[in-house]
Structure 1
Amino acid sequence: MRLALKIMGGIVAALLVLIVVAIGALTLVDLNRFKGQIESFAGDLLGRQVQIAGLDVDWSLSPLIHVQGLRIANAEWGQAPFLLDVQDLRARIELLPLVRGHTILPEVSVVAPQASLERNAEGQDNWTLGGETTQTVADEAAVPEDRTELPIVGDLRIQDAAITFSDAGQGVTIPVRLASVEGAAGGPQDMTLTAAGSISEKPFTLGFRGGSADALLAGDEAYPIALEVRLAQTEFSARGGLVQPMSLTGFDLTTRVAGPSASDLTLTPRFPLPDTPPYSLTGQFRFENALWQFIDFAGTFGNSDLRGTAAADLNGEKPLIKAELVSNRLDMADFQPLIGASEEQREATGRVFPDKPLPVEGLDAIDADVRFRGEDIQIPALPMERVETHVVLQDGRAEMRPFSLEAAGGSLNGELAVNTRDEPMSVDAQLTVDSLQLRQLLQGTPVAEDMGGLLQGQLYILASGNSVHQLASTANGHVAAAMTDGRLSGLVVKALGLDVPRTLGFLLTEDESLDLRCLVGGIRLTDGTANLDTMLIDTQGSTVQAQGSVDLGEETMALSLQGRSKESALRLNSPIYVEGSFLDPSIGVGLGIIIPSIEWDAVPDAPCGQTISNVMAMRSQGQE
């Protein structure tokens, strides 16, 4: 907004120069005879060449100034020929109020204005006009210290406006087209403004209603406004009061924003916003003394909801964001597009882990302290009943400590640190799982009632990368998991195929389910490769051990399982192989031939307790 005001300030300064010259001229004199001198004087004032095709003044105490073909040259390095090119400009000004220091323009009409706002790769902009003295005057004209100094425009009409903003350093170009802008102000009547056009070829409309011009100039109370904006299919509204309308040093607004997707607000391919579920957010938006507050907000994001209070304090060296957030339901599927995870991504790349860069750019520019509590967190295969965490972001390093949640009758507790100061960024994660009930974990599935067992485990991962795929490809650490007194549903056993349970020596119950004494897994992660240090399945009728590895970067696996029956001297010794990609694995029995052999030695029960203890000690051993 300040940018637009500075530009308008320069234009108003040029108009005032024309007015001063016009007042000193005789009414019968054709001002076009002095057009060259006026162009030169205005050019010296603005520091740019100024061209005027035609100039006329209809003299009275409220003279009407008519300018045709007004052009202000661009900076020498600019790409467009002109900073501003106006086909036709008409402005009426009240002379007597100027004596009291008030600028009143009863009518302003602008036809086909074209503005090219540019910033080059060195950061220079083309809208800074004139030298230091001129710029100081322009700044004071653009942002008055006192509301009573604000210029009042009575009837405003702008037709066929075109504004283009380009930033060479960022590779960004945003075109704005306004087919019509109409406004009215003055006296006791409410001020109104409407606009219609497009931004980056997306349809755009604006409707504004404010208090009267008298209320704006009063300067004692907040100035009331109501604003409605629509860009493409996204809607924004604000109602409330502005303490200082021009400098925006304080306001208190009730706001609402709603749209079908964040991508609806993408204005340039250089900075695309992700496809997201429909969203809606309302709350009280306040600003005072460099403190921004979003109070008692509530909204939805797809199937998720969020409420709370947030604040951004701009008084320090960098912004400090503090927030207290609560969600009754958080569906993590709503947030998959933010990390690039989707069915479309998997089909296009053939990968489970997305390569899309994670949205962490700019985190070193802010600090944050955020507390979050969720009552119902929906994650595939892990419905969470309650989660609490505290996130602290300082100098580009984010720590989630502690992180605790309740799920499936058990709990998960851990810590997470993300350091964006490293390139690529680094991630350090620790997680402990305690007493998850398998039946509750699978609640709502056809197999839930026939499943049983308690899960425990731990995870420690250290990785680096700017996407989920890169992080998986560089992961180091370990994963340990165990289940005791478990039971696998007959539906799960059948899904393995006829040969697999028989080859592994499983003895099935009458309903073809499988009782487990224990299931234990110990995985060592080295540079993105998960090696099975320990994999044991012990049932009443057999003991199964597995070996192999999983390449998280290539998303492939090569595993083999060997079972020994406890009940029969006739052993079926062909291994089971699990191979292929994550998206298309294959399960096979040896070479397709089951080779029997006779072993007279009894196969004892596996030492489940000792094996679990050894696996759970992997972390301390790995850190010594």
Structure 2
Amino acid sequence: MALSAKGRQNVKRIGLVVLAVVFTAIAMIGAFPVGMFRGAIEERLSAHLGAPVQIGAVGRDGIFSFKPLITVQELRIAQPDWAGRGNMVHARSIQARVAVLPILLGRAPRMEDITATGLNLSLVRDRDGRANWEGREKTPARDGDEGRGLAGVAIRDGHITLRDEKRSLTLTGSFKADGTGVRAEAKGWFHEALATVTFVGAPIVGVASDARYPFQLQLLSPLLQLDARGASVGALNLRTMSLDIRAKAPNLKYLDDVIEAGLFGTRPIDLTAKVRHSGRDWFVDRLSGRIGSSRLVANANVLKRDERTKIDADVHFSEFGFDDLSDAEGKAKDAAIEKRVGPRVLPGTRINLAKVGPTDGRIRFKADRLLLNSSAFRSLAGTIVLEGKLLRIENILAGMSSGRMTGLLEVDQRGGVRHPKLSIDLKFADGRLETVIGSKDVTGPLQGRVALVGSGDTIREALATADGRAGLAVEGGTIKRTFAAVLGQDLGKAIGAVLKDKDAEVPLRCLVVGFSATRGELIARDFVADTGISLGTGRGRISLGSERISLSISGQSRNPSALRLEDPIGVGGTLSSPTISAAGEPPGSKLDGGAMISAVGKSIGRALGIGKKERSFVTPAPIDCRAAARRVL
């Protein structure tokens, strides 16, 4: 339907009014008195930072411009209440060329050619990680947000102080940014050692926001020497950058104070790495160097997804020593425990996961050569899988001088429990008994298994409460004739073997030792040694809490003996220092000359008919070794 003449006239009037409003708005923006914004700027900044903000004055150049030069005089941002007195930021003046037309489109104004004069920064972070520069609410980077570099920034006469209690770092220094580049230098303390931090970068003035920006950062201290050289995409855009890093320190914990990755104490480190940062993600393309005597090559991706950290890494040690993962403080604690409770075999490695954050990971590790003295273990490989408070070490493969150990270790602290649950299921196969014990007095193919579940903050504490089982089996080996005679409590054959040929051997048909574990007590359920001339059986227990041994071994010769030991052989002491006793002495008593004379005296007395009546001789039946092995394995 066509408009009437009056309708067309009204449309023209409305259009002219709209155009007038638009042109008026544009004119007002171009000539807006920015001083009127001072109160609003102070209010918004104060609310965001959680600290009072004061501005002396706000002005602009000229009467009309869509890119006016805005000047802020005497900007002061006070410290948050928790950070102490004084100002977090004080600038005598800040000038910036501001493009105001984006305001018409509902966007924030764009700033260019920023110049700050007399800029003083006082940065504070407490032990809990609360930082005054983060404001009331931290705003994490969004996925895919690679940030933007600074463009056209100049800083004259800048000064900075940093008190970072979480990093144990305190610094005071100066910085500037002009046409010659960016330079900052500060001195202070890292823990209780002197430290110097320097930053050198290319000029920011006249650089595009997405241009390659080279820089170098150094921290020099007796506790840490850190050198990082690289470039960001855009000036000082720390969300997208590539770095070559070299770090040397007497302890890995000092490097962790800076990078905050949750690392542990170690022996001295010397590491180099090629690292990339993109958005919220880190990529370690190559890490190499040494920790103590251990040499490694590694790579890792550390991704931030759905407010969780996800790690995927490969770590390859050409040489690896477990002692390298313990610093002087850890060794001192172990020494104090050993002094209090005596030498221990079971490791005191801490397994509590309470401080592990929202982190998932899969780390494949391999050690070609283990730096262990007097150990049958030669190499180690496996996969560490972390799902928050659940840690699994899967596909464990430990190469030994003979045989291999495979299995699984799991630490579970889900559900807010105070102490984690440790589950161990390890199998040993294709080994040799003589290799494990380090002696050819007893030989044979060896199999074994340990399946235990317990709770505690360390491996030692968890095993002290463990339930489960442990066992080993040998079928078809050899044993010194002397030892076989002792197992059968045949004193006559033992003395004869020593006098005739102390190195003579007899078959070891079967050796099976099986324990059931209840609340950290290993109780012998199957304990038999079947040799060509004797049959020995055992009973007793081993405490995983105290590591004390209380076992007794009784035996019978396969042939009648006129001179036999009357009392069982006792095995006592601790796992680190076992002892043997005889002649009815308590298990663990020293096997000295008096005990031996007593044992021989009892045997001779029985042979002469003194004492208890001799039982009739019955030849012991052979053991079904495979059936016995199945029970314990």
Q: TM-score, normalised by structure 2?
A: 0.70
TM-aligned CA deviation for residue 294 of structure 1: 0.8
One-letter amino acid matched to 1:318 = R
Counterpart in the other structure of 2:544: 552
Is residue 2:393 matched to residue 1:400? yes
One-letter amino acid matched to 1:151 = V
- Consecutive unaligned residues in structure 1, runs of 5 or more: 1-22, 25-37, 56-61, 166-172, 620-624
Secondary structure, aligned partner of 1:347: helix
TM-aligned CA deviation for residue 521 of structure 1: 0.8
Q: For residues 298-326 of structure 1, what are the alpha-carbon distances to aligned partners after superposition, in whole Å with 9 as ceiling and x for unaligned?
A: 22222222213211221345222112222
Structure 2 distance, partners of 1:283, 1:457, is: 41
Structure 2 distance, partners of 1:587, 1:39, is: 88
Is residue 2:218 matched to residue 1:212? no
Counterpart in the other structure of 1:235: 225
Counterpart in the other structure of 2:15: none
Larger displacement relative to structure 2 (407-416 or 474-483): 407-416
2:431 to 432, 436, 439: 436
Is residue 2:631 matched to residue 1:617? yes
> RMSD across aligned C-alpha pairs, in angstroms?
4.8
1:607 to 584, 607, 622: 622
Counterpart in the other structure of 1:531: 523
Distance 1:354 1:437, change over 3 A: closer
Distance 1:420 1:531, change over 3 A: same
Structure 2 distance, partners of 1:515, 1:554, is: 36
TM-aligned CA deviation for residue 238 of structure 1: 1.5
Secondary structure, aligned partner of 2:567: coil
Counterpart in the other structure of 1:194: 185
Map 1:421-460 → 2, pairs under 5 A: 421=414, 423=417, 424-441=419-436, 452-460=443-451
Is residue 2:289 matched to residue 1:299? yes
Counterpart in the other structure of 1:315: 305
Larger displacement relative to structure 2 (388-397 or 318-327): 388-397
1:503, 1:575 within 8 Å by CA — same for their partners in 2? no
Structure 2 distance, partners of 1:279, 1:359, is: 25
Q: Percent identity?
A: 22
Structure 1 distance, partners of 2:307, 2:122, is: 38
Is residue 2:428 matched to residue 1:414? no
Counterpart in the other structure of 1:153: 155
TM-aligned CA deviation for residue 551 of structure 1: 1.6
TM-aligned CA deviation for residue 366 of structure 1: 1.5
Structure 1 distance, partners of 2:564, 2:269, is: 60
Distance 1:565 1:339, change over 3 A: farther
Secondary structure, aligned partner of 2:185: strand
One-letter amino acid matched to 2:218 = E
Map 1:332-481 → 2, pairs under 5 A: 332-335=322-325, 342-350=334-342, 352=344, 353=346, 357-358=350-351, 360-363=353-356, 365-379=358-372, 382-421=375-414, 423=417, 424-441=419-436, 452-481=443-472
Distance 1:547 1:314, change over 3 A: same
TM-aligned CA deviation for residue 487 of structure 1: 5.5
Number of equivalent positions: 540
Map 1:53-64 → 2, pairs under 5 A: none
TM-aligned CA deviation for residue 606 of structure 1: 6.5
Structure 2 distance, partners of 1:404, 1:211, is: 50
Larger displacement relative to structure 2 (512-521 or 249-258): 512-521
One-letter amino acid matched to 2:414 = R
Larger displacement relative to structure 2 (241-250 or 94-103): 94-103
- Consecutive unaligned residues in structure 2, runs of 5 or more: 1-33, 58-68, 101-109, 586-594, 608-613
Asked which structure has the greater CA Rg, the reply is 2
One-letter amino acid matched to 1:208 = F
Counterpart in the other structure of 2:46: 46
Structure 2 distance, partners of 1:125, 1:148, is: 22
One-letter amino acid matched to 2:429 = D
TM-aligned CA deviation for residue 296 of structure 1: 2.5
Structure 2 distance, partners of 1:144, 1:562, is: 74
TM-aligned CA deviation for residue 601 of structure 1: 5.6
One-letter amino acid matched to 1:433 = F
Secondary structure, aligned partner of 1:469: helix
Distance 1:395 1:178, change over 3 A: closer
Q: TM-score, normalised by structure 1?
A: 0.71
1:456, 1:482 within 8 Å by CA — same for their partners in 2? yes
Counterpart in the other structure of 1:261: 251
Q: For residues 70-125 of structure 1, what are the alpha-carbon distances to aligned partners after superposition, in whole Å with 9 as ceiling and x for unaligned?
A: 782643xx3x6525378xx7757668899994344475475xx76555699xx987
Counterpart in the other structure of 1:225: 215
Distance 1:245 1:71, change over 3 A: closer
